[in-house]
Amino acid sequence: MDNLVELENVSFGYGTRPVLRGINLTARRGQVIAIMGNSGCGKTTLLRLIGGQIKPTGGVVRVAGQDVGGMDTEALYQLRRKMGMLFQFGALFTDMSVFNNIAFQLREHTRLPEDAIRDMVLMKLHAVGLRGAADLMPSELSGGMARRVALARAIALDPTLVMYDEPFAGLDPISLGVTGNLIRRLTDTLGLTSIVVTHDVQESLKIVDYVYFVSDGVIEAEGTPEDIRASGLPFVHQFVHGEPDGPVPFHYPASAYAQDLGLAG
């Protein structure tokens, strides 16, 4: 089957407050997909739905043909062994060294001898260029290094799907380029499918195959990076060019300014 992840008319809300409405999204095998949108638009919620951390209130989320929303915990855990996730700030286990962070899943889910685990961990670390940092603790890493270690940890069990929550947030320009290239390179060499949630337009348009724009809980636009750059849609234009005002207003909704200042007649 060509599509690894499919969302069909998916809705989600907390209580009565809707977060996502009528989302249709597809990620084909081997693709890097970006989900973009302003802060708080529901991007991370989409990842949580795909990972089964929350269940949709409407529609179907399918990963490898299986309905994620209808799974029990055991089935979900089985599915998650084929998924990797890079959290926003790495979410490395702070009481473990870099080596043990990567070895964590191998030790939890396999009965491999320690020699084999060591080799596998070093290979993953080598892939992200941090073999020399194996003995460091997470507190000794820079933000960019922590992100790369988390990436190595996400691919430790050779997953088929890797999700990235804001992988570029808070990185310096060099680390930004390194992380972007790693996502593309690992996807191609390991045959992964990657879903990147980000608001870093320029960096992600360089590496992704397809982009979904989410605004206010719905998909506003979608297309290849070329389509997006050429898009005439006001929201996409504002987002890609970083304009302060437009369809996404600069001002938070408020009563009339003059009235607030007591100048209204």
Partner 1 sequence: MTSLLQPLARLGRRTVEGVSRLGYAARFFLAILLRSGTAFGRFGLTIRELYFSGVLSLIIILVSGLFVGMVLGLQGYETLQTYGSEEVLGVLVALSLVRELGPVVAALLFASRAGSAITAEIGLMKATEQLAAMEMMAVDPIARVVAPRFWAGVISMPLLAGLFSAMGIFGGYLVGVVLIGVDEGSFWSQMQANVDFEEDILNGFIKSLVFGVAVTAIALFEGYDAPPTAEGVSGATTRTVVTSSLAILALDFVLTAFMFRGVS
Between 89 and 144, CB nearer to partner 1: 89
Query: At residue 234, what is the residue type?
Result: P
Residues that bind partner 1 (CB under 8 A): 51, 53, 76-78, 80-81, 83, 85, 87-89, 91-94, 104-105, 108-109
CB of 151 to partner 1, least distance (A): 13
**Three-class SS of residue 8?**
strand
**Three-class SS of residue 233?**
coil
What is the distance between the alpha carbons of residues 50 and 10, in angstroms, rounded to a whole number? 11
Report the Cα–Cα distance between both ends of the chain, in Å, rounded: 66
Residues 6+ apart with CB under 8 A from 37: 43, 199, 213, 214, 215, 220, 239
CB of 69 to partner 1, least distance (A): 16
What is the distance between the alpha carbons of residues 151 and 139, in angstroms, rounded to a whole number? 17
Between 77 and 257, CB nearer to partner 1: 77
CB of 244 to partner 1, least distance (A): 29
CB of 230 to partner 1, least distance (A): 36
CB of 5 to partner 1, least distance (A): 15
Query: At residue 106, what is the residue type?
Result: L
What is the distance between the alpha carbons of residues 22 and 114, in angstroms, rounded to a whole number? 47
Between 95 and 115, CB nearer to partner 1: 95
CB of 32 to partner 1, least distance (A): 19
Query: What stretches of 113-264 adopt beta strand conformation (E)?
Result: 161-165, 193-198, 210-215, 218-223
Decide if 51 contacts 163 (C-beta within 8 A): yes
Between 76 and 122, CB nearer to partner 1: 76
Between 117 and 233, CB nearer to partner 1: 117
What is the distance between the alpha carbons of residues 205 and 17, in angstroms, rounded to a whole number? 31
CB of 191 to partner 1, least distance (A): 20
Decide if 208 contacts 223 (C-beta within 8 A): no
What is the distance between the alpha carbons of residues 72 and 70, in angstroms, rounded to a whole number? 7
Between 59 and 159, CB nearer to partner 1: 159
Between 26 and 88, CB nearer to partner 1: 88
